[in-house]
């Protein structure tokens, strides 16, 4: 099969940072395959937006905590669309609570979706990249994984784990020509941010040197840079307006 475009795989691509990343990669000339959890209408809207840009993005409903689901998705993309050049893992959930009040279920769900999901997508996709001796992986962590956030013990642990996983993998697969990097967004204007109280938003703005929250497209810019930065691997690029200085 002749390939006109590079192929990118994006988990959690129907909303927020994932959606912005899908559209940015389409603009950059990629053919994008992305997955989503439940919101089929949002996924179809992203497909239409990609088409309006003159590109192609195809959605599939995938449970990123299921090894079988992830493996079937990656194999399907490799077979139907072509070898995957770039992988972006952005699927994630939050279930915030003080640690002493956090349920086992909330801990497990956040670790399963954010960390296990990243592991499963990386494992499935990198296997094929190793055989081709090329590829780029960009995993989405968070500033919570760099500095920690109160009442986000599960989320901070998962996002810190993504950084450790990414750096370890970068050392493993560098000799195969595969690069693995991480972005660590701060407070970004997404559905997650809309759940914050007005008082908490004000406090976070006061602590952010740029005095504003970021946009999903600004994180997508960083992801696109790392996807193509040929001599960068094992990096953690903080996109946080200076919050963690």
Catalytically active residues are 155
Output the CA–CA distances (angstroms, integers) from residue 143 to 19, 46, 91, 188, 196, in the order listed: 20, 27, 16, 11, 16
Alpha-carbon 79 to chain mean position: 23
Output the CA–CA distances (angstroms, integers) from residue 24 to 29, 223, 238, in the order listed: 9, 9, 19
Number of Cβ within a 10 Å radius of residue 94: 19
The two tokens of residue 229 are 């930065």
73: closest CA among 151, 165, 11? 11
Q: How far apart are CA 120 and CA 33, in angstroms?
A: 16
Own/partner contacts of 98-107, CB < 8 Å, gap of 24 or more, are 98/150, 98/151, 99/151, 99/153, 102/153, 102/154, 106/154, 107/153, 107/154
Report whether 75 contacts 129 (CB < 8 A): no
The secondary structure of residue 111, as a DSSP letter, is I
């Amino acid at each position: 099969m002749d390939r006109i475009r590079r192929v990118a795989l994006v988990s959690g691509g129907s909303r927020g940072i994932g959606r912005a990343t899908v559209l940015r990669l389409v603009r950059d000339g990629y053919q994008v395959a992305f997955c989503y959890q439940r919101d089929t209408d949002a996924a179809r809207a992203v497909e239409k937006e990609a088409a309006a840009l003159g590109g192609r993005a195809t959605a599939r409903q995938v449970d990123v905590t299921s090894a079988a689901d992830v493996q079937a998705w990656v194999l399907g993309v490799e077979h139907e669309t072509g070898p995957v050049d770039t992988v972006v893992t952005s699927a994630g959930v939050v279930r915030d609570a003080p640690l002493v009040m956090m349920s086992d279920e909330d801990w497990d769900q956040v670790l399963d979706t954010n960390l296990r999901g990243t592991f499963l997508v990386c494992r499935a996709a990198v296997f094929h990249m190793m055989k081709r001796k090329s590829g780029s992986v960009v995993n989405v962590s968070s500033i919570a994984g760099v500095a920690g956030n109160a009442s986000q013990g599960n989320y901070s642990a998962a996002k810190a784990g993504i950084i450790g996983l990414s750096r370890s993998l970068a050392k493993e697969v560098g000799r195969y020509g595969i690069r693995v990097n991480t972005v660590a967004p701060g407070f970004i204007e997404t559905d997650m941010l809309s759940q914050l109280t007005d008082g908490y938003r004000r406090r976070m703005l006061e602590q952010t040197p740029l005095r504003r929250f970021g946009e999903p497209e600004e994180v997508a810019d960083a992801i696109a840079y790392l996807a193509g930065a040929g001599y960068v691997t094992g990096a953690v690029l903080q996109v946080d307006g200076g919050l963690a200085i």
